[in-house]
Structure 1
Amino acid sequence: MFLAPKEIKEPTGQCLVYCPRRVQVSKEFTFDAAHHLFNYEGKCKSLHGHTYRLQIAVSGFLDDRGMAIDFGDLKTIYKEHLEPRLDHRYLNETLPYMNTTAENMVYWIYQEVAFHLPKERGLQVESVRLYETPFSYAEFRKEWDQDGI
């Protein structure tokens, strides 16, 4: 049962979930890492580093607390499965064999989050955005994952 906000006065044992639709939740992280690019003629060919900014957006239907996913659960996924391979690392050694462009990295991060996301209430990764500089980012979205590779 969904209650309009004016009907909610105090917990009475009824469900306090108001929104019956899918809701997106996003959390942001930063990490520092070094890498170099293969098959590239420019200064990024050499070893260099970035302070990356990562945004992970997940959607789902609300639980009995009125949450799609707890922000702390997204933080746990990052801390346990992403941060050990990203933060203060040489990405060419800690990530799967790839050219460590923001485009390749954002897809890998999308896949990792999707794999570790609880499969309840229709939770799904909507998008992952990775800023390599304050004004340059790569993004991967769920609707672009057509092939399901």
Structure 2
Amino acid sequence: MSNIRITKLFSFETGHALHGYDGKCKNIHGHSYQLSVTVIGKPISDSNDPKYGMVIDFGDLKKIVKDEVVDVLDHATLFNKNTPHLELAKELQSRGMKVILTDYQPTSEMMVIDFAEKIKKRLPKEMQLHSLRLQETNTCFAEWFASDN
């Protein structure tokens, strides 16, 4: 049976600030992110399986990505926990704001690497994560491909 790639699209709103950056993005700002998740595998060939003919049920893929990425990041603000933004993050948290402290500079490039690791761990063994595309603006995106890693 042939390998097939399937893709599901997600969107979420997240803020961040890039400490030490030499441009506007050093300021707290947000994006309407668009995430494309592509997996590759063989469609299920067992006609008795309720998922017969599918690589993965889109609903199952949705649950994985929402649990690991979307529901965690939607309407949150990301800061690198190793920057002076830590004091600001604690203040925002004390005021009931959703703040996430990352181990990395929260750029699209680093975020997509983080997402790939989280999603790969949750996929059924019969398939692989093929690629991710994280669109930050209408004209800018970062991509991760398994073949490059």
Q: Are 2:138 and 1:138 equivalent residues in the alignment?
A: no
The 8 Å contact of residues 85 and 91 in structure 1, kept in 2 or not, is answered as: no
**Structure-2 residue corresponding to 1:69:** 56
Counterpart among 89, 103, 106 of residue 109 in structure 2: 103
Equivalent residue letter for 1:128: L
The 8 Å contact of residues 11 and 70 in structure 2, kept in 1 or not, is answered as: no
The 8 Å contact of residues 68 and 115 in structure 2, kept in 1 or not, is answered as: no
**Cα separation, 1, equivalents of 2:130 and 2:14:** 25
The 8 Å contact of residues 9 and 35 in structure 2, kept in 1 or not, is answered as: yes
**Cα separation, 1, equivalents of 2:35 and 2:101:** 16
**Structure-1 residue corresponding to 2:18:** 37
Deviations 1:50-76, CA, capped at 9 Å, x for gaps? 000000000111113111111111100
**Structure-1 residue corresponding to 2:6:** 25
**Cα separation, 2, equivalents of 1:77 and 1:71:** 10
Give me the TM-score of the superposition, normalised by structure 1: 0.79
- Structure 1 residue 94: deviation in Å? 2.0
- Structure 1 residue 79: deviation in Å? 1.8
> What value does the CA root-mean-square deviation take over the aligned residues?
1.1
The 8 Å contact of residues 85 and 95 in structure 1, kept in 2 or not, is answered as: no
SS of 2:136 mapped into structure 1: strand
Larger radius of gyration: 1
Counterpart among 6, 19, 28 of residue 47 in structure 1: 28
- Structure 1 residue 85: deviation in Å? 2.1
**Cα separation, 2, equivalents of 1:99 and 1:125:** 23
Give me the TM-score of the superposition, normalised by structure 2: 0.79
- Structure 1 residue 38: deviation in Å? 2.1
The 8 Å contact of residues 128 and 139 in structure 1, kept in 2 or not, is answered as: yes
Q: Which runs of 5+ in 1 are unaligned?
A: 1-19
- Structure 1 residue 102: deviation in Å? 0.4
Q: Which runs of 5+ in 2 are unaligned?
A: 47-51, 80-98
Equivalent residue letter for 2:56: I
**Cα separation, 1, equivalents of 2:118 and 2:69:** 8
